[in-house]
Structure 1
Amino acid sequence: MAGFVGDPQLGGTRTMIGHAENVRIETLKAQETQLQELPQLPARDVLPVPGQPPAGSRIIYSRNQAFVGREEDLNWLAERLLYAQESQSVGISPAVAATGLGGIGKTQLAVEFCYRYGRYFEGVHWVSGIGGDLIVEIVECGRTMGLLPWPEKIEDQLARTLFEWSHSQRRLVVLDNLEDPAMLRQWLAKLTACRVLVTSRRPAWPADLGLQECKLGLLSPVECLALLRDLAPRLDAVSEDRLTPVAERLGGLALAVDLAGRYLNDRENLTSEEYLGELNEAENLLVHTSLLDWVTNDNPTRHETSLAATFSLSWKQLEGGEADKIAARKIFELAGWCAPNTVIPGELLSGAAGVAEIDFDRGMKWLYELGLLERTKEGPVIHPLLAEFSRSMSPVGEKRNSVLGVLADTLSKQVNETHDSGFTKAFRTLISHLEQICPVVDDIGLAIAGSLWNSLGLSLSGIVRFEAAKTCFERALAIDEAAYGPNHSVVARDVNDLGRVLRELGDLAGAKQCFKRALAIAMEAYGTDHPNVAWIVYNLAEVLREQGDLAGAKQCFKRALAIAMEAYGTGQPDIAWIVNNLAELLREQGDLTGAKECYEQALAIIKGVYGQDHP
């Protein structure tokens, strides 16, 4: 006559259930009738129009009338929560997770799914994971269902609700904002008869949970414009090419676009260009009022209406003195100064973080699980708005300068190492980070700024971006002249590199002037027979040759060759390069005998270095 209702682990107590068997029979009869009355499933891949879920459902949010896009995601959820399950055995119920960084629209997607597909379930029950008290949430679902008899004690109310759900055939439970695998594991064991939709920032879950994951992407440019225009109808009159830069600046993050649309709707006289100007002029994008505090208590899902507050929910999880959390904070700070939407080499982050390998790996695990970094096959990536958030959380003054100095030095060394191995994809990735960091290092006046601009100039020259390289070398020269004076060896380096790019751009007169100045400085700094002098003389020879001064070019080639051979001997491939170009010049002068001798000498050097069969 007496038995347990519910699971003791969930707080169930021994309760007299008396006519429980009769209740179960009546419940099963009601379910059979309800299943017969459920609407036929819509055609696959065709989104049904929004509608109301069955009576007794609990969805704590209204539908967002401005919801746009996500058709593929909605179809993905429907396939797994509805269609694929109709042919499976009773008791094999799916659990799927919609994942993504904060503000990407996970809860909004779940709400939209409930209003479009909810009527095809026996019931839809929303359980919020914020605060972690799922018992109260599930009890509220049972109360909304109007279950009778309804116990007085909360543990019995929980048991009554779970008992009802345990006899379901097609029931949806949404576990919104649930981040803890242990908690999910506990509750999935109690929801085996339900179909479960989880929303979470956590991008990966333990395999034993059997979760199928739907990773939400950013809104497309078309979807961004549609959302902006839904929220601010006056933007219908604004052309796509004028509005797109705003969407791009917001990084396709749903919450950011939503807040911007509401701001533009309220500020009726503000043009899209003026708003973009405001965003660009803000010291940090996240402190602009549109993304910080303009919208208050006006979110369809009652989530944070501040991007900074949204990201802070994840950041706060890294508080504490544990080594892995300290490492995670360091890594995130470093990532914030790198180029967003670009793979950040793990060697760059680990080299600059200066933490133990195990702590680095655990720190990266934290950042991936909290959605602060995105894991890709090539490496970690940071969203532009999360990069802004990282910089806003970064310390100021000397501590910030120290972090940037270490990052810049590590990056410069890796660029130089990668440069030697060729212009690979990894090399181009490092260039993107150099382009991001150089202006920052320059603005705060770090000593490494000149060398960093020079390194970027060399890198851009390597991928034939000569105009951009020229700008970099000019900036490096200005910084180093101010720091070291006009006749320092570092200045000679900058002037020589500027001359090389001017030559590539066809400014032979400017290049010749640079090489002559660099040569004078280098001879004063190193002496007349230093290898650095040889290469400047070689560069001057090339310009003279292109200007038609073959005699002057020949003299320079021979001088460069003599210095280089004295310094390196004849076993260096660079020597062969000088000898080969001297041969070309002799051929142009008609000295075929001399040219032949030089070609043979160059060939002998190459064979000696690389072997007979090298390409």
Structure 2
Amino acid sequence: MTDAQTPRAATTATVAHTDPLRIWAGVPLRNSSFTGREILLSTLRQALDQQSKASVLPHALHGLGGVGKTQLAVEFAYRYADRYDVVWWIPAENQTLVLQSLRDLGRRLGTPETASLQQAARLVLDRLASSRLRWLLIYDNANDPDDVVNFIPSGGGHIILTSRNQTWSELWDPIKVDVFDRDESVELVCKRGSEVSSAEAEQLAIRLDDLPLALDQAAACQAATGMPISQYLIRLDEHIQALSPPEKPRSSRTTVAALVRLTLEQLRIKSPAASELLEMFAFLGAEPISRSLLHKGRDAPVSSALGAALRSQAGLNGAIQELKRYGIANFDAVRRIQVHRLFQLVLRDQIGAEALARSRENVHQVLASANPGYPEDEKTWDGHAEIGPHIVPAGLVDSDVAGARQVVIDQATYLRLIGDLDGSRRLAENAVDVWRKAENLTGLGADGELTLLAGHTLAIALRLLGFNERARALAEDIYQRMRNSSELGPDHDHTLAAAAGVPPNLRVAGLFREALEQDRASADRYRRKFDEDDPETLGAQNNVAVDLRMLSDFPAAYEIDKAAVHAWQQTVSENDNRLLFAQTNLARDLYGLGRYGEALALQQRILVPFRQQRGPRHQDVLLAERTLAMTLRKVGRYAEALTAAEQHHDDTVDRYGAEHEHSLAAAMTLANSLRAAGEVRRADALATDAVDRYQRVFGEDHPLTLSAAVNHAIVLRALGKRDRARQLDEDNYPRMRDTLGHQHGYVLCALNGLALDHALVGDRAGARELFDEALTVSRDFRGPRHPYTLACAVNAALAVADDDAEADLARLGQAVAGLAEVLGPEHPETRAAQQRSWAECDIEPPPT
């Protein structure tokens, strides 16, 4: 239902505020047969006004569903719509559904896009808690508090939660929903039934224990068949007696089961297609399912009556309409079909072994046929989103249908790509555990293709969740199994993808050289299998360039990325995402080479179309924004750099959270920009926090952690905290050198800082030795015209220069002249060198 379709005229209670309802989504269609419940509605409204939260629970501790909890919440939403600016219905059967719904709400509220659904939910909750909007969130069927309790705004609006789980009564004051009063039962049956008298309606109410769901369905079935109530009750009693021995008291669950059996009996006679469609809901989830998804199963090998209906839109519509006529199913606002959870549970218990096996097979075949595949393509995501809630209830992990097992792998990949990393992990982990133990099924077993694909998907999710050691071990195991497999082998597409999954774990572990070796081997295999300019080969070469940047080998990375840019320019338009991505990599290489002006010009030229193509919060765009901030600082435009760095930091933290690798790098870029702009105290606070977070995420000896500490030492020197800076450098430099080697760019930056520590305490001899070493290695490794080499030359000259040493002054003049030529005579670093100020060399580590 759109905002304009929200039924405002039907409301019976309003507030003075008359702003139009701006956001309304997900609320089921209003029940035209809604009966009674006036006291409950009033109680619910008062509870929300007093405490802002209410849990709508069944009255009995172990009561059945079907008492009308959801219907009460639906009626409240429509009746009191004018009280709210936002009404948002959240299916809360599991955490993934909650997260996806909150993400969608965030898009309507305009909160930033994020890479993590958890992060998106937090942004939405914070926005609601601090907003002046009048909002109502309805969490429907929130049966596991662990899935929902952390996704409740801290205040500011109203929350309704429906659940069968009495645990919620310990968290919030509950609104207990019991069965109907007898008058309400009679009213409902007379509304829904056909030519039913009040006396007959009362008889039916007595037999069905005044359970609202049962009364509604029974009255609809009676109306659909035209069966007199007296006959209907006789048939119902026959089913009750068949289900319950005479010596045992009849339970409400037995009555509902008899009701469903009677309805199914009628459907099997009048519409076999409708009965087989209904049976499917024994294995479908509680979320609605669309006609289009069912129609996609038209070519699936399903049972005959169902297959005939699926192949004909008219036949499928007819079967669905029959279910609605019999009151056993409903449509939602976008015409998706849904069967009440209680009916679904009863169906699984009562349809019989043969029908149960047929239903399970039908569901597996239809979902396999409807699977859009290709989860990397965003165009398939709507299809994967609709299939997702049915995967676990249908038991697809245990399916004998190969296509159904592929649905599981595709869903785990889809969940990872939309940011539900934990959902991806849980599903893939379940698949791996089950499939490894399976025997005599194609693709399963410890070395089966599907098992290995699920393991590969699991390894990626584990790495992104920060389970680094487990991810690394699993990724290497999966790769070796694929490589040694007689069915796959070293050059299979799956094996090549698994091989590419190993180096990221090595980079996270700080093993940059090992990652480079693995990526080079993968790139060689891609070149042998594909053309040099094939997209797969270019992607493998890009991974090699990532490793080279981590090792500060920017000349080699530059050659790879220049070739990639050239290859894409021959085949795609100038605004193609792949070309723009390759050009952003080239800009990073230019930055590393010290060609700051070229890097800035390239990044500025491509950033606008890149934003337009990818969106302002896409990972690749955010990385390009960071490069822009870095290069603005390096060309001396400090104010612009600081503005760009602050915006990039805010956007990155919004997207990833504060402890993601990209957010930590953004914090260091901002700290460097703050220091350059003279805001040293802010830089110190930010750098201190970033180093702490690096230590938690990567460990104390990781090169990224050590690099962050080197930057912090620079800030400390600017604050005059020389002892603390020297302590950091003396601790970090040898560890960095032992890990990366003495020629690495980060190590040279650390060495320059340590030399400055000696110089600032008057140890000119120690400083000269360290500066000379840094200068010599930098000339060999970076080249004599690199700005950092020239900075080392300035420092080396300053360490020996005095007013009487003409040769040393000449040496300083040459270094300053070099900076003027490379950076420009008015660059702040050039002017600082002219004034005999020490030159710092900060670090901007590339992303892993």
**TM-score (normalised: structure 1):** 0.49
Q: TM-score, normalised by structure 2?
A: 0.37
Q: Which structure has more helix as a fraction of its residues?
A: 2
